[in-house]
Chains A and B, each alone.
Chain A
């Protein structure tokens, strides 16, 4: 069974701080990896998609890296804002769009 672990489970930071969310997976033969955010009671919003041949992706204040050999990915959020408060989910696929999700990191950015 594929295991995807996210640490920490919850994080509270003051506005403006840079932060790193971690994701680890047990099988390095991934097809691709995505980071999502989920706001309470809502669906998921894709933040970044990293194909297996890539090492990182950037979008605005977000940067995600992928190290397949160690089974890890990190999501870096620069200059955090209260609007970044949400649950962040990491998901890996090994074939097509069959994704295995982590349990998420609940982020609170304090104004």
Chain B
């Protein structure tokens, strides 16, 4: 089974631009979560989508948004980029079995640098 894939792997943008990151979950997984990882703040939860609906949302400004498609692929968008948005963005997918969440599988991440 193919793992979680994220594209692109590396990205350089300038302040004020917007960016879209993509995540393809493991086949059959309906839950996709997004995290931001920085040296100062560590790993922080952005949001989770399940069956095309946002199920949970972290404490990030509205510039951060996401969506999930019917095939469970997910995108996240960051508008009006700031220098502080430079980070590794990680996507994770998981399944739900008998009502219980199962192990999360993470992708390799997209490293975003904002200049």
Interface residues on B, range: 20 to 34
17 A-B pairs within 8 Å (CB atoms) are namely A34-B104, A36-B106, A43-B106, A43-B107, A43-B109, A44-B90, A51-B100, A96-B50, A97-B48, A98-B33, A98-B45, A98-B48, A98-B56, A99-B43, A99-B104, A101-B44, A102-B42
Residues on A facing B (Cβ under 8 Å): 31-32, 34, 36, 42-46, 49, 51, 89, 91, 93, 95-104
CA distance A43 to B106 in the complex (A): 6
Contact of B58 with A by CB under 8 A = yes
- Which of B42, B101, B106 interacts with A104 by CB under 8 Å? B42
- Specify which chain B residues have a CB less than 8 angstroms from the CB of A43 in the assembled complex: 4, 90, 106-109
User: Taking each of A99, A100, A103, which has the highest tally of chain B beta carbons within 10 Å of its own beta carbon?
Assistant: A99
Interface string of B39-78 (1 = CB under 8 A from A): 0001111001010000110100000000000000000000
What's the nearest-Cβ distance from chain B to residue A76, in Å?
A: 19
Main secondary structure of the interface of A (DSSP, over half): strand
Residues on B facing A (Cβ under 8 Å): 4, 31, 33, 35, 42-45, 48, 50, 55-56, 58, 90, 92, 94, 100-109
Output the nearest chain B residue to A100 by Cβ-Cβ distance. Answer: B45
What's the nearest-Cβ distance from chain B to residue A29, in Å?
A: 15
Asked whether A32 lies within 8 Å of B101 as measured between CB atoms, the reply is yes
CA distance A49 to B102 in the complex (A): 8
Output the nearest chain B residue to A103 by Cβ-Cβ distance. Answer: B42
CA distance A18 to B48 in the complex (A): 36
What's the nearest-Cβ distance from chain B to residue A21, in Å?
A: 16
CA distance A102 to B107 in the complex (A): 19
CA distance A10 to B44 in the complex (A): 21
- Specify which chain B residues have a CB less than 8 angstroms from the CB of A103 in the assembled complex: 42
- Specify which chain A residues have a CB less than 8 angstroms from the CB of B106 in the assembled complex: 36, 43-46
